[in-house]
Each structure stands twice: as C-alpha cells, then as structure tokens.
Chains A and B, each alone.
Chain A
Amino acid sequence: MTDVSGRTAFITGGASDIGLTVARTLARAGASIALVDTDSEKLALAKAGLGAIAPVATFQLDLRDREGMAAIAQKIEVALGPVSLLFNMGSLVSDVRAVELTYEHWDHLVGTNLGGVINSIRTFLPAMVERGHGGHIINSISRAGLAGASCDVLRATSDFGIVGLSESMEPELARSEIGVSLLCRVCLPADSAHPADATAFAAGSTRKADMAPPPPPHPIDLNAIGELVLRGVRRNSFYLHPDRSSEQMVSSRTDALIAAMPEELK
C-alpha cells in the first residue's frame, strides 16, 4: 500500500512507450521522476514534456553499466531525494534464432534485461530497506516470462529470471513494507511486431505459433497501462496484466508441468 506522492521514482527505459507512460502517470500522481534510457534525444523530449508536471532528472545509461548506475543514483539523491520507487521497464527485444546465438548476443540481451533489473535492485534496494520508509519495485516482462515456448531463447531466459527474482523477493520484502509487482506486458507492440517469433517459427516447428496469444482485441491503450501500474503500486498487487491474452498459455503450461510429474510412490 504505497502512496507515490512525494516519493522519487527511478524508471529504466523511461524515455519511450511504456516507460514514458508510467513516468507521466507517476508525475501526475505527485512523484519526482528520474528517467534513464539509452536514447538521449528521447530523454530530452521526455524531460521537456514531464518538466511541467513534476521535478524531473534524466540520464543516459546502458543498464549493464554498474558504476554508471551507482553514479547516477548519487546524482538523483542530490537532485530529487532518495529513490523509493523502482520501475524496471527497460528491455531489449531479440531477433536471433537459437541456432545462431553467440556469447555477444547472450551478454547483450540477458545482461541488459535481467542484468539491468539486478543492477537497479543492487543499486537502490539496500538503502530503501535501510531507511525503513517502504517503497515499491515493479519489474516488467513479455509473455516470454510466463511460457518459454512462446518466445525466443534470450527473452525467455531473461524474463523467466525476472519472474523468479520478483516472486522470491516479494515475501521477503513485505516485512520492510516494500511492495513488488510484475507487469506482464504480454501484448505490447514491441512483442508482437518484432520478427523474433517469425524467424523462430521458420525453424520448422509450429508449436510456437500455436502457443502465441491471439492479438489484442483493441489497440493497446498505453494510458490504461499507466493506470494499471499506479493502481498496482497503491494496492500492492503482484501480477499486473493489461489483458487476458496469456490465460491459455499459462494454463496449458501448468497442465504440461503437472502431467509430467511421476506417480505418487505407494
């Protein structure tokens, strides 16, 4: 049950799409906003747009850069006060088939998507716990985090890792009054428009296509996602789904998991 008003939010991937939408929603709700992104032009636009609503600071950052993140954390604390809302929204998509993967692909994507969440938590969480004023962490995943067969290997690996991280942290942070949520942005354009899945299907199996969720019934309403996230923080809801598109694949996966279990020993 975290009120965002008067708090400072750190938002990765904050300069465009969902990160920016979340930033705007939080700014309107009274939070100070620190945005990081790799794209400096978009950061400048975001700063100009949000500056009229709330105190804003922006920083260009590669989420793999631990020292850079630590330095930015210090600047944010001076400019906006201590961070107690972490929004890990930054993520890369992938168009590499498993048979073509190199170490560079793994290091870039898993290092940014999963490593970025780890770095942000390492950078801000210990102080959040120490100060004892609670707070909230939101991590976000694509549908790859709920059923690995629905997506490419790099994102399935990263997103599952983020899910495991979030689910295991949630009960442990409850006693520090730090809430955790997982935004399952299953059907955002970044997922559906990307060629990753198409190339994977071409490898010869149709199962990924079968498991892919149906396209969303309406165009995605980014503002609705901003509201969903804000409600999630205020009510401390764990799973945040914009729509029901992951229902079938979650159920099928669980059925397969249970069916694979050995008979009870008599």
Chain B
Amino acid sequence: MTDIQGRTAFITGGANGIGLGIARAFARAGARIALADRDGEALARARSELETVTQIETCELDVRDRTAFAAAAEAVERKLGPVSLLFNNAGVIVTESPGKLNYSLWDFALGINLQGVINGIQTFLPGMLARGEGGHIVSTSSGAGLAPAGSGTLYTTAKFAVVGLSESLRIELASSRIGVSVLCPGPVATDIVHRSMEDAPSGAAELSPQQEQRRWELREQINRTLQRSIGPDAVGEMVRKAVEENSLYIHTDRTMESAIVARTEALLRSLPHPD
C-alpha cells in the first residue's frame, strides 16, 4: 500500500510507450518524475508535455551501463529527492531461432531486458532500504514471461527471469514496506517492434531475401496486432492502481489465461503418479 503523492519515480524506457503511460499516470497522481531513455528526442517531448503537470527530470541512459545508471541516479536524486518508486521498464523484442543465436544477440536482449532490471534494483534499492520510508518496484515483464507466447527464446528467457526475480524479491522486501509488482502486458499499442530493430545486432546467419521478407511480414503482423490493442495510458493507470494496492501481478488483459492454464496442466500431468 504505497502512497504516490510526493514521492519521486524513476522510469526506464520512460520516453515512449508503456513507460510514458506510467509517467503520465504517476505525474497526475502527484509524483515527481525522472525519465531515463536512450531516445533523446522523445525525452525532450515527454519533458515538455509533463513539466506542466509535475517536476520532471530526464536523462539519456542505456540501462546496460551500470556506471551511467549510478550517475543518472545521483543527478536525479539531487534535483528531485530520493527515488522510492522504481519502474524497470526498458525492454526490446528480438526474435531469432535458437540454432542461430550468437553471443551478441544474447547479450543485447538479456542485457536490456534482464540486466537492465537488475541494474535498476542495485542502483536504487540500497537507498530505499537505508531510508526506511518504503516504496515500490515495478518491473516490466510480459505475458510471454508467464508461458511461451511465440516471442522467441531471447525474449522469453529474459521475461521469465524478471517474473521469478519479482516473485522472490517481493517476499524478501515485504518487511521493509517496499512493494514489488511485475507488469505482464498482453498486446499494447506501442512502437516496440520497430524501435527494437533499430539497435539489435544481426543474427549468426545471413538471411535470404525470402527469409528477410518473411521476417518483415511477421514483424508487421505483430505490429498490427499491437496497434489494435489497448493504449499505454490505460496500462499506466493499471500500474498506478497496482502500486496503491500492492498487487504482485499486473495483467493488462486475459490474453495469456489459456496458455497459463495449459502450461500448469502440463506441469502437473508430468508429476510422477503417487505411490
């Protein structure tokens, strides 16, 4: 049960998509906002939008860079006060078949989607604990963090890990009054598909023109599905409510229900018969 009013929120991937939806919702609820993102232009746009609502700072940050993370935290806390609402939201989608994965792809996808979350926690949690004023940590996973959803091995590995991290961390931080939630969105109308392509390293194998074409079609198909879905502002409001109520799981819809149930049935069916 975390009061939002008067706290400082730090949001990675905060200049676009779900991160910006979270920023808007928490700004309206009276939090000071720090946005970190790799996209400087989008940060400037978000800043000019939100500075009429609340105090805001922005910083260009690659969440894989621990030193830069620490520096960003120090700069933000000097201006906005200590961060007690942390949103580990930055993420990328990279799809590649398992036999073609190279280390650059693994390091890129896990570096942002998992290490970025770890880096956020290591940067801000010690201060939150030392101050003893509670707080909340929300990490963005995915419906694909709960059961495979055809999003590829890189994405699924990282998003599962973020769910496990959050489930365990929540128990250990309860006595410090620091809430932990994991956001597992279904499809949301953001530009993640195209943004992820801009920086992703290439796969191990050269693709034929036909393969390139198929991959492009798949991406566009995913993107069309996203654009028909709920918007990031609605997700931001769901996150605000979850922080206020300290809910562990934040789903944006029931998309994953049947996959989760089927997975659990498979798990239970595979248990040995009782003696």
Contact = CB atoms under 8 A, between A and B. Distances in A.
Interface of A: 66, 97-99, 101-103, 106, 110, 114, 118, 121-122, 125-126, 128-130, 144-149, 151-153, 155-165, 167-169, 171-173, 176, 200, 203-205, 207-208, 237-244, 246-247, 250-251, 253-254, 256-258, 260-262, 264-265
Contact of B66 (A101, A103, A239): A103
Interface string B120-147: 0110010001000000000000001111
Contacts of A98: 125, 168-169, 172-173
Contacts of B162: 157, 160
Contacts of B151: 168
Contacts of B148: 164, 167-168, 171
Contacts, number: 194
B160 A161 contact: yes
30 contacts: A98-B168, A98-B169, A102-B122, A106-B118, A110-B161, A114-B161, A122-B103, A122-B106, A125-B101, A126-B99, A126-B100, A145-B164, A148-B164, A149-B171, A155-B168, A160-B160, A160-B165, A161-B161, A164-B159, A173-B98, A200-B171, A205-B174, A207-B171, A241-B272, A256-B248, A256-B249, A260-B247, A260-B251, A262-B253, A265-B253
A250 B261 CA distance: 11
A106 B122 contact: yes
Contacts of A173: 98-99
A161 B164 contact: yes
Interface in B226-275: 238, 247-254, 257, 260-261, 263-264, 266-268, 270-272, 274
Nearest to A200: B172
A159 B129 CA distance: 26
Contacts of B106: 118, 122
Contact of B257 (A153, A246, A261): A261
Given A148-B165, A262-B254, A251 B249 contact: no
Contacts of A207: 171, 174
Given A203-B174, A205-B174, 5 more contacts: A122-B106, A157-B114, A165-B160, A240-B270, A250-B264
B172 A164 contact: no
A257 B260 contact: yes
B175 interface: yes
Nearest to B254: A261
B270 A239 contact: yes
B163 interface: yes
Given A149-B168, A254-B261, A204 B174 contact: yes
| Residue of B173, B257, B266, B267 contacting most chain A CB atoms (<10 Å) | B267
Contacts of A241: 270-272
A153 B270 contact: no
| Residue of A99, A159, A173 contacting most chain B CB atoms (<10 Å) | A99
Contact of A172 (B97, B249, B268, B274): B97
B60 interface: no
